[in-house]
Amino acid sequence: MTLRQWLFSMVVSATATLGATAAEKEFKPAALTFGTLRGMTVESAKVKVETYLKGAGKLDQAKVDTIWGQYDKSILERTVESIALANPDAKKAIDDARDASTTPVTEVPTAIKNEKDAFAKTNLSAAFAKGLASKRVYEEALEASKAITPENLVDPSAFYFFKAVAEHALTKRDDAVLSVIRLLDDVTDAPDRYKMVATLMFFDIQNWSKDPKDLSNIGKLMDNSGRRLDLTRGGTQTQEIQKKIVFRLDEKIKELENQCKGNCNGGCCPGGGNGPAKGDNPSSPANQSSLPQGGQRDGKVDAKELRKLAENWGTLPASERQKAVQELTRDLPAKHKPMIEEYFKTLNRMNGYER
């Protein structure tokens, strides 16, 4: 049974319990069908390259033969080198995309975007996208992928693998599943290493929560924000991701607060106890630079207290920050503590306290 057939069986099962409309919406990628793809042979790829160069008036048979005699290079690398005889700017853009020391581009280069020949444009775009994906520049990698005609790919397995990697990293659930299906079911000669990693990605995606407030999903947003900052991309798109992080965590905090209201005797207090300690005053305001003293709270996560703490996060000593996180996360698993800390850091970056 292929991956697509397995997913289709899930559609049938879901239709019986959810109704046709809900099931189709939930498992839409499973119903799509595609043609079989296979990597081109060296001989057929070379013929296509020669046809392209002849049409561009740039065929130099001796140079082409030399390029295709480099058996240590992949078929895609030799294809790109050959196309460069007519389009050298595209080759330079691809080399820069692969070079870890160069600043990642923010758009698909004109030399690739304006290429008229479908075969050349497809493989230049595939090589460019693969180079960017290797450097974790996923957004532009996917943008370059839009220009690709799968039937013109000399190496469809590499294209769908790196496309799936980019979509998985950006949590594009349906797109990633679709790319994995094409790689595992439609590309007949995909290398085992690609198939193994793609299978792991597929099963990882099945475990993603649909709840945007789920801490694992918030963690994925944080990973994406951190990746963009590592790439020195702190512009509007990164700021929007950070705003989404803050919004989702605000929602999660309010959800925890609502769960705790009226349920403190049930062990929902952040301190894990059965209510406020004797002498605590729930109505007294929180200290500006730390949480209430004594390690006990009234069973509520005070939004005003959280905001005040967040506003002063950048000025607090490390010991105070650690104490604050410990107090706030007493009723959460330890793995979520870095997320709460990142929440405060993100707020401060947005408000200009940290750069």
Those residues whose C-beta lies under 8 Å from the C-beta of residue 19, and which sit 6 or more positions away, are: none
Average pLDDT over residues 166-176: 92
Same domain as 164, residue 116: yes
Single-letter residue type at 197: V
Quick one: tokens of 331?
């009723």
Taking the CA of residue 205 as centre, how many other CA atoms within 13 Å lie in the half-sphere pointing to its CB?
23
120 and 140: one domain? yes
CA angle at residue 265 from 259 to 269, to 5 degrees? 55
pLDDT of residue 176: 93
Whether 9 maps to a domain, the answer reads no
Q: Which residue has the higher pLDDT, 155 or 33?
A: 155
Q: Is the dihedral of CA 277, 278, 283, 286 positive or negative?
A: negative
Q: Are residues 196 and 258 in the same domain?
A: no
Q: Which of 133-147, 246-260, 335-349 has the lowest mean pLDDT?
A: 335-349
pLDDT at 216: 78
> 37 pairs with which residues across the strands?
187
Q: How far apart are CA 316 and CA 247, in angstroms?
A: 23
In order of 254, 258, 273, 328, the CA distances from 263 in angstroms are: 15, 9, 11, 17
Indicate if the pLDDT at residue 145 is higher than 80: yes
Beta strands in 31-176 (DSSP E): none
For residues 113 and 163, state if they share a domain: yes
Residues 187 and 79 in one domain: yes
- Evaluate whether residue 28 is within a structural domain: no
Say what the pLDDT of residue 75 is: 96
Domains held by the chain: number: 2
Give the model's pLDDT for residue 23.
39
12: left (phi over 0), alpha (psi -120 to 50) or beta: alpha
What does the pLDDT look like over 220-265, one tens digit per residue? Answer: 888 878 888 777 776 787 778 888 887 887 777 777 667 666 555 5
Encoding tokens for residue 348?
């401060």
Among the residue ranges 97-106, 259-268, 288-297, 315-324, the one predicted with the least confidence is: 288-297
Please check the confidence at residue 9 and state whether its pLDDT lies above 60. Answer: no
Shared domain for 181 and 227, answered yes or no, is no
Residue 97, burial from CB neighbour count under 10 angstroms (0-12, 13-18, 19+): buried
pLDDT at 231: 75
Q: Residues 111-136: what's their mean pLDDT?
A: 93
pLDDT the model gives residue 84: 95
Task: Write out the residue range of the structural domain in which residue 55 sits.
Answer: 42-206
Task: Round to whole Å and give the CA distance between 25 and 281.
Answer: 51
Asked whether the beta carbons of 43 and 65 are under 8 A apart, the reply is no
Model confidence, pTM: 0.66
End-to-end CA gap in the chain: 52
Top-confidence residue, 66 or 290? 66
* Selected residue with higher pLDDT from 81 and 252: 81
Output 10 or 47, whichever has higher pLDDT: 47
Check residue 30 and give its pLDDT.
41
Name the strand (E) or helix (H) holding 145. helix 138-145
Neighbours of 51 (CB within 10 A): 13
In a domain, 30, yes or no: no
Report which of residues 206 and 50 the model is more confident about: 50
Predicted local distance difference test score (pLDDT) of residue 252: 74
